[in-house]
Amino acid sequence: METQTMKVTNLKLKEFFVHQLRDIYWAEKKLFKTLPKLQDAATTSELKDAFGQHRHQAQTHIDRLEQVFGMVNEKIDSTKCSAIADIVDEGEDIIDETNKGTAQRDTGLIFTGQKAEHYKIATYNGLVNLAKNMGFNNAAEVLKQTLTEDREADARLTHIAEKNVNYQLN
């Protein structure tokens, strides 16, 4: 039998879950708009391709989040994600403060990309676990797909840094 305390706790958890969905929804939309700037500013074709591919994935992530809102019977909405806003601003500063065509710029862009990915990985990991705990198993599976893709994007950026860009600094 569910007590009043359990009902309030479940309501508060769902409110938190929805707030986090709105936060990451805003973040994905912001990154979708920002990734072409990072792609244009990148020097190596491998890094340009990585940003281009992730922009394509960002649209898929947005579509999935809209699907999840429906699965949990919530209105699609967004709340500004201050963390991603700051990371995007930092990326723009890197572009402004580094010379075009340099390994320094690519290294900075990789840092920016990985900061965004790490934020998203943490958020999606939390959302997957919370969705499961609240019984939104279908939503958890959809969110898990994006979590997997973001982990792969982070690994790709690491690979680019380790095998290509950072060696140009020598």
Amino acid at 105: R
> 87-127, pLDDT tens digit by residue?
999 999 999 999 999 999 999 999 999 999 999 999 999 99
CA angle, residues 47, 103, 101, in degrees to nearest 5: 80
User: How far is it, in rounded angstroms, from Cα 60 to Cα 124?
Assistant: 14
Report the pLDDT value the prediction gives residue 169, as an integer from 0 to 100: 47
Q: Which two tokens stand for residue 144?
A: 């898990």
88: which residues sit within 8 A by CB, 6+ positions away? Answer: 30, 31, 34, 112, 116
User: How far is it, in rounded angstroms, from Cα 22 to Cα 162?
Assistant: 34
For the chain, give every domain's residue range.
4-169
Quickly tell me which residue has 């390994």 as its tokens. Answer: 103
Q: Does domain 4-169 have CATH number 1.20.1260.10?
A: yes
> 30-85, pLDDT tens digit by residue?
999 999 999 999 999 999 999 999 999 999 999 999 999 999 999 999 999 999 99
User: How far is it, in rounded angstroms, from Cα 66 to Cα 70?
Assistant: 7
User: How far is it, in rounded angstroms, from Cα 78 to Cα 58?
Assistant: 15
